[in-house]
Amino acid sequence: MAEKFDINSLNAAQKQAVQTLNGPVLILAGAGTGKTRTVTCRIANMIEKGVNPRGILALTFTNKAANEMADRVAGLVDRKAARAMTVCTFHSLCVRILRQDIGRLGYKENFSIYTGSDQSGLLKRLIMEYGARREKLEPAQVLAEMSRVRNNGLGIENIEDSLIAAVSKAYMRELKAQNAVDFDDLLILTERLLRCYPTIHEKWNKRFSYITVDEFQDTNSLQMSLLRQLVGPEHNVCVVGDDDQSIYGWRGAQISNILDFESFFPNPTVIKLEENYRCTRQVLDCANILIRNNAGRREKTLRTNKEGIYPVRLMAMPGSQEEAEFIADEIDQLRARQNLPWEAFAILFRANAQSRALEMAMRERHIPYRMVGTKSFFDRREVKDLLSYLQMMDNPDADLHLLRVLNTPPRGISPTTASLAIDWSRDHKKSLWATLVDIEFLTECSARSQNSIEAFTELVTRYGTEFVASERPFVDILQDFLNETGYEEYIAKNCKTEEEKMRRQAAIDDIKVALRQYWLPGHKLTDFLAGICLDDSRDEDDIESKSGVCLITMHAAKGLEFPQVYIVGVEEGLLPHTRSVDEGSLDEERRLFYVGITRARERLTMTYCAKRSRYGQEERCQPSSFIHEIPKHMYEFVDYDKLMKSPASEDECADFFASMRDLLADE
């Protein structure tokens, strides 16, 4: 028997949640209020009170969350009981139900499940058949539109774009003909089974007598409908969530599910978890006052007994470069001064484009970092292309970089010719570059390939020489290269949308900005490349599992916490995002800011810039309107220019002299 949970270790609201087992229950669990502990203790209490564990169902949104909940419950009850429970995602539950009864809907029980690559492959073929390639219709567009209407309980006929509708209908026919379903189908077909077949509905109602749903604020219309079908006549359903942390409306989440819970399950017991164990009072006061500006929320006020030693800071920065460099320098100093791990620090940002300056600052200071929630700036196609060209001009014998850009943009060097060059280089123990300039190798190529190779090697040699010998700014040399090769036009031509074109051009412009900022007479391209290409291991897929400072989108930060948090770019147009005004989602943007603030355990710093580069253009910025909703006495305002001119603090002086002593001791 596992160790019994101690109910006296819970606060009053948590105790009420754990002990209220029957009927509909809504647990409003504010940020950092011990939600997971409360839910697991509640399930353990069910078993202790005699509820058959086989009749307990707990639904989550991710396998990771399901495994964590199952493990924590298993620590409170005996193993047999723990194994008898069902703790899984919505989709996993649907697979179990469909394996037994999907035959009623015209499928075989051994149906296949199409995932991302399977779906894209099928859609690519259908797009070709419907001639949609000419209109640059992409599988992702079709999938997004299908998912939008289907998860809102609508049929394919509700897709307004006639071409997308036609491809979508063909896609659905093909799936069924292949006895296959996709992830949306899992929810849709299960809900249909339970709604349309009373015997199946009754079977599963009897199977699960107590149902718990975690992160309820993230459910969509279809998931809500499915839940209503699963819950039996006793309405023993417990949902746990926080409307103040509902930030996924853009992907279909319906905040109305939690706000209007009483309309789905009448007369629920509503329990508020308001005692925060994560944040300091200073941080929590800012979060509370901010979120009260949202209309239609369920009223709650988080409280804490944790008195912090650091005030919340709001810092005005000249630009994004200064913002990134200041944060990187401060992290470096705080880590050394307070003996903190890199993992104690997190930098939260609203838009992916903000990551470039932050990554550059980290790399220049040799600070390890990990990207979460977005693709690293240095992993973007156009960035890799340009850096490979620069690496080649600096060192033509770098085979990896040569292969990447050998025919980019297309210049008549075919994959066959490239393969021939690779084989030749191996046989003759030469670099690829040495192979391409070898007369003996060139004679084995066709006349067309020979001309293309010679033009390529002449181009690289000429610009490589200029980077070494010329006193011109590096960015000017790069621009000449881009103009001659037509690289920017090539990238623009291959973009499917205007937004993609602007995003890719902005990444190219960011490389130009970095070159412009680095260059001074006498500076070497080698040193520039060494500064931004330090860590090749960042190309690995498991980047999120790495150690280091966490650079994370605000959406991805939900559910996480860090001792030291920086929220950058608290500016109009970024936070709230420009789209939120047009789409009427200002409240969700405020909830996103609230989520960001409540990630901080000990210290919170918010920054905004006077100007920021957007799509290659410097734009003037204004502090976010959300800042004006937080009274000035709740934070310490710090002006960058004044800070840089101020004398060093006692701590900074101590750090300096300590480092000098260490240096002398080493000598």
Catalytic one among 138, 182, 185, 214? 214
Q: How far apart are CA 179 and CA 109, in angstroms?
A: 9
Respond yes or no: is residue 488 known to be catalytic. Answer: no
Q: How far apart are CA 4 and CA 435, in angstroms?
A: 71
The two structure tokens encoding residue 440: 């003996």
Catalytic one among 15, 16, 20, 36? 36
Q: Where are the alpha helices (DSSP H) in 432-540?
A: 432-436, 439-442, 447-469, 474-485, 487-493, 498-518, 525-532
Catalytic one among 356, 404, 599, 601? 599
Respond yes or no: is residue 184 known to be catalytic. Answer: no
Q: How far apart are CA 288 and CA 40, in angstroms?
A: 27
Respond yes or no: is residue 527 known to be catalytic. Answer: no
Respond yes or no: is residue 245 known to be catalytic. Answer: yes
Catalytic one among 229, 245, 280, 564? 245
Q: Give the SS3 label for residue 398.
A: coil
Respond yes or no: is residue 242 known to be catalytic. Answer: no
DSSP count for the chain of H helices, then E strands: 30, 17
Q: How far apart are CA 163 and CA 446, in angstroms?
A: 44
Catalytic one among 14, 33, 35, 485? 35
Give the 3-state secondary structure percentages of the chain, helix then strand then coil, rounded to 5. 55, 15, 30
Phi, psi at residue 155, to the nearest 5°? -90, 170
Respond yes or no: is residue 35 known to be catalytic. Answer: yes
CB pairs under 8 A, 24+ apart, for 642-650? 643/315
User: Is there a cis peptide before residue 266, judged by omega within 30 degrees of 0?
Assistant: no
Task: State the DSSP code for 159.
Answer: -
Query: Quick one: how far is CA 113 from the chain centroid?
Result: 25
The two structure tokens encoding residue 368: 């390890």
CA angle 451, 455, 460 (to 5 degrees): 150
In the block, which residue shows the tokens 């960011």? 510
CA-closest candidate to residue 395, choices 442, 352, 432: 432
Catalytic one among 185, 215, 243, 244? 215
The two structure tokens encoding residue 376: 């690293």
Q: Give the SS3 label for residue 383.
A: helix
Query: Quick one: how far is CA 659 from the chain centroid?
Result: 38
Residues belonging to the active site: 35-36, 214-215, 245, 599
